[in-house]
């Protein structure tokens, strides 16, 4: 039996889980009931074999995850709006355009804050230091400081704290399933809130890979330096994805050692969840996989292997 690789994301008072061509979002509504929404889709990578090639698949997966993430966040937020929207047919084209703008704006802000700003700040030291690799290293350190500072600041917000608790519930539930344990609240709560395939770890690896890549590029023209930072984002994201993919599929000293920094950062982006949050995460998993049948197959395969 092929191992199922489930990914997820915390949303507003809920959890989204994704498996192959399906993703499910479960949200704890203000009336305490759990609202479930399951969507079938064809992954972009399945539409063209070229999109499954190493590095390229990382870029495709990143963009697709960002789009799905925005959609699920929008869905979860709809239950907590102060004013109910008037009933009527949804304008799907308008919604799609709105999602596109949100994704585009998110990318622009992220690139500006985490790529261009550190490059500009480090460039102020060009004449003082006079060593390209040293300046590139300082740029990377500035980038890490901005990233960690940003994560720490938002982690202080009450609403974000609850989202980070759902993030912990998501990780615990996936860890429980991957360990072969039944998805009960009691079982899930015993597992770790950290996971090697986490998006936080991915972003941290992006920071590290960017240092290595930019240390290999030397140009004295400021506008060209900034342009290259933007143009190389897909390559950096693709390489980082391959690392996260490898680390998530292997349990050896190398993968575990290189995953440690990302797991440390997850101490900021995850919190220990409450039992009712775990219930929501379990519900979300049930939307994308029959976990009971999956665990039975796992036990059957182990039994055959032992025989």
User: What 3-state DSSP class applies to 15?
Assistant: strand
pLDDT, position 305: 63
Dihedral Cα 129, 131, 136, 138, nearest 10 deg:
-30
233-249 and 222-231 helices, crossing angle to 10°: 40
Contact 52, 58 (CB under 8 A): no
Confidence of residue 82 (pLDDT cuts 50, 70, 90): very low
pLDDT, position 95: 58
What residue ranges do the domains of the chain occupy? 20-80+91-306
pLDDT, position 254: 78
Radius of gyration of the chain, Cα coordinates, nearest whole angstrom: 21
Average pLDDT over residues 35-41: 94
Q: 112: Cβ–Cβ under 8 A, 6 or more apart, which residues?
A: none
pLDDT, position 114: 86
Its pTM stands at 0.85
Average pLDDT over residues 198-221: 88
Contact 45, 51 (CB under 8 A): yes
Give the Cα separation of 257 and 259 in Å (integer).
Answer: 5
Contact 120, 226 (CB under 8 A): yes
Q: How far is CA 274 from CA 7, 62, 162, in A?
A: 20, 29, 10
Contact 225, 161 (CB under 8 A): no
Average pLDDT over residues 290-304: 85
Average pLDDT over residues 33-48: 90
pLDDT, position 4: 79
pLDDT, position 94: 58
Confidence of residue 86 (pLDDT cuts 50, 70, 90): very low
Contact 216, 273 (CB under 8 A): no
pLDDT, position 164: 95
């Amino acid at each position: 039996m092929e191992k199922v690789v489930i990914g997820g994301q915390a949303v507003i008072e809920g959890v989204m889980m994704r498996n192959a061509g399906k993703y499910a979002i479960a949200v704890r509504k203000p009336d305490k009931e759990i609202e479930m929404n399951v969507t079938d889709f064809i992954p972009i990578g399945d539409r063209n074999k070229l999109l499954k090639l190493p590095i390229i698949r990382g870029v495709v997966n990143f963009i697709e995850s960002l789009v799905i993430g925005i959609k699920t966040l929008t869905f979860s937020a709809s239950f907590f709006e102060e004013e109910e929207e008037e009933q009527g047919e949804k304008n799907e084209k308008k919604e799609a355009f709105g999602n596109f703008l949100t994704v585009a704006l998110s990318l622009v802000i992220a690139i500006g804050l985490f790529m261009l700003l550190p490059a500009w700040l480090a460039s102020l030291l060009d004449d003082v230091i006079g060593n390209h690799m040293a300046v590139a290293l300082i740029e990377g350190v500035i980038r890490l400081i901005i990233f960690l500072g940003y994560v720490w600041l938002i982690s202080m917000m009450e609403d974000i704290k609850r989202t980070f608790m759902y993030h912990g519930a998501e990780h615990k539930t996936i860890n429980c399933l991957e360990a072969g344990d039944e998805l009960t609240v009691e079982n899930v709560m015993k597992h770790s809130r950290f996971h090697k395939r986490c998006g936080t770890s991915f972003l941290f690896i992006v920071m590290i890979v960017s240092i290595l890549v930019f240390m290999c590029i030397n140009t004295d023209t400021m506008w060209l330096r900034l342009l290259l930072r933007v143009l190389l984002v897909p390559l950096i994201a693709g390489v980082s994805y391959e690392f996260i993919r490898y680390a998530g599929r292997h349990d050896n000293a190398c993968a575990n050692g290189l995953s440690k920094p990302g797991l440390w950062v997850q101490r900021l982006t995850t919190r220990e969840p409450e039992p009712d949050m775990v219930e929501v995460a379990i519900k979300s998993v049930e939307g994308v996989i029959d976990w009971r049948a999956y665990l039975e197959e796992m036990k059957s395969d182990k039994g055959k292997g032992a025989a």
